[in-house]
Amino acid sequence: MGQLTQHVVARSIDDLIALDRLIVNQLGKRYDVHPWGVPEFELDLPGKWDHSWCATDPATKVIVGYVVASEFSNNVHAHRVAVHPNYRRNGIGIQLFNQLFAHAKMTEFEYCTAQVPYDNNAAFEWYLRHGFHVLRKAELKWYLEARGVTGVPEEDHLESDGDRHWVVRYPIQRLTSNLPTAIDDSQTEAT
């Protein structure tokens, strides 16, 4: 695991784009129908270069997983998560998040959030198994205001631009040194 810095993105942009397109082609709307390209990977967001992580194949040095995150308020937000299908079920997803959580805790952030497409039950269940909880109506209002994004908070999900998403949150400050190592990364996603 290593930080996904500007230098790493510049050096590995083709690998990142290829992996993202593979996941979009495989999962479609359950991930995102719009693959990321150079502008999305290079976009400079608050704290992005501190909170984004990647995993590489030790033999080929090709990126096989990543989490792209930034910060808002007392929160770190995972915008995009991908693990190559050939490397799933090896704990890469949780290792990426553990890196994110550990760094966020060290820098005193309280939460990590992610949006999950409403019909991606595998990703939703993955987040719940790993200690995230679903934001409900009042918490969704906080999320929209704190992130400065638009959407309509429903009872247990967010409606935005014709799409529905669960918003999940992990309380980083409860993190202990006994991080989970578990692991089914089969359909991980975040936007």
* Residues 142-170 pLDDT 10s: 999 999 888 899 999 999 888 899 999 99
Domain coordinates in residue numbering, the chain? 2-174
Say if CB 14 and CB 38 are below 8 A apart. no
| Residue range 18-47: mean pLDDT, rounded | 95
Contacts of 174 (CB under 8 A, 6+ apart): none
What's the predicted TM-score (pTM) here? 0.88
* Residues 80-136 pLDDT 10s: 999 999 999 899 999 999 999 999 988 889 999 999 999 999 999 999 999 999 999
Question: Hey, what CATH topology would domain 2-174 get?
Answer: Aminopeptidase (3.40.630)
Q: Residue 109 burial (CB < 10 Å; 0-12/13-18/19+)?
A: buried
